[in-house]
């Protein structure tokens, strides 16, 4: 009776468990982005604003954007310490690069108008119209990723002047980062 029960229920459950564990291990290995180091990042605590809305979108840093990344233990100036939220984050090289990359899009060169070509020599026109080996990119936003400031509910920018860096002893991971929509 026990053998029958073992064969009917226990063995299939063990096989299913091992299958799930194997899939989880494969996913963990494939999603690992390499070795990680602890970095210190300066995070914007207020939006920069430009009166021109197009310029504002493409050039102004916003709350949560990472301005600069330094290796752990680097010195920060007094101005940086009272202006930016400094966080320690454990990042892979790929993640580090993502935090300061701009959000871009390929410029569609096929919509060239006659007005744009006006006054150009035939050689200049050819260079202007012909596709390049690397596509021309246009900056949409200065950063594609940002620190999710909702994770720091109790923080206000005035804290930097009153109490200093409130989260400097904590080490965070990629979980506090979000991709902009």
Is pLDDT above 50 for 48?
Answer: yes
Radius of gyration, alpha carbons of the chain: 25
Mean pLDDT, to the nearest integer, of 3-22?
67
Q: Is 76 strand, coil or helix?
A: coil
pLDDT over 70, % of the chain: 76
**For residues 131 and 150, which has the higher predicted lDDT (pLDDT)?**
150
Q: Residue 81, class by beta-carbon neighbours within 10 Å (0-12 exposed, 13-18 middle, 19+ buried)?
A: middle
**For residues 25 and 170, which has the higher predicted lDDT (pLDDT)?**
170
Residue 29: pLDDT band (50, 70, 90) is very low
- Condensed to tens digits (0 to 9), the pLDDT of residues 156-165 reads 999 999 999 9
**Alpha-carbon distance values, 174 to 141, 142, 151 (Å):** 20, 19, 12
Mean pLDDT, to the nearest integer, of 46-59?
93
Cα–Cα distance for residue pair 50/35, rounded to 1 Å: 39
Mean pLDDT, to the nearest integer, of 19-45?
73
Identify the residue whose tokens are 């899939």: 23
Q: Is 137 strand, coil or helix?
A: strand
> Where does residue 34 fall: left (phi above 0), alpha (psi -120 to 50 degrees), or beta otherwise?
left
Residue-level pLDDT at 126: 73
* φ and ψ at residue 102, rounded to 5 degrees: -80, 155
Is pLDDT above 90 for 116?
Answer: no
Among 5-14, 115-124, 168-177, the range of highest mean pLDDT: 168-177
Residue 136: pLDDT band (50, 70, 90) is confident
């Amino acid at each position: 009776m026990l053998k029958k029960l073992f064969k009917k229920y226990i063995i299939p459950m063990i096989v299913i468990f091992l299958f799930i564990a194997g899939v989880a291990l494969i996913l963990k290995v494939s999603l690992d982005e390499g070795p990680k180091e602890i970095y210190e990042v300066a995070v914007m605590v207020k939006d920069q604003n430009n009166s021109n809305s197009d310029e504002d979108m493409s050039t102004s840093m916003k709350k949560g954007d990472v301005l600069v990344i330094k290796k752990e233990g680097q010195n920060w100036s007094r101005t940086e310490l009272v202006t930016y939220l400094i966080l320690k984050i454990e990042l892979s090289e790929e993640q580090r690069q993502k935090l300061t990359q701009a959000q871009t899009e390929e410029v569609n060169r096929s919509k060239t108008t006659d007005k744009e070509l006006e006054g150009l020599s035939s050689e200049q026109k050819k260079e202007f119209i012909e596709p390049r080996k690397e596509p021309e990119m246009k900056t949409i936003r200065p950063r594609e990723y940002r620190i999710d400031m909702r994770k720091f509910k109790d923080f206000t920018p005035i804290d930097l002047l009153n109490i200093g860096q409130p989260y400097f002893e904590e080490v965070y991971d990629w979980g506090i980062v979000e991709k902009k929509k």
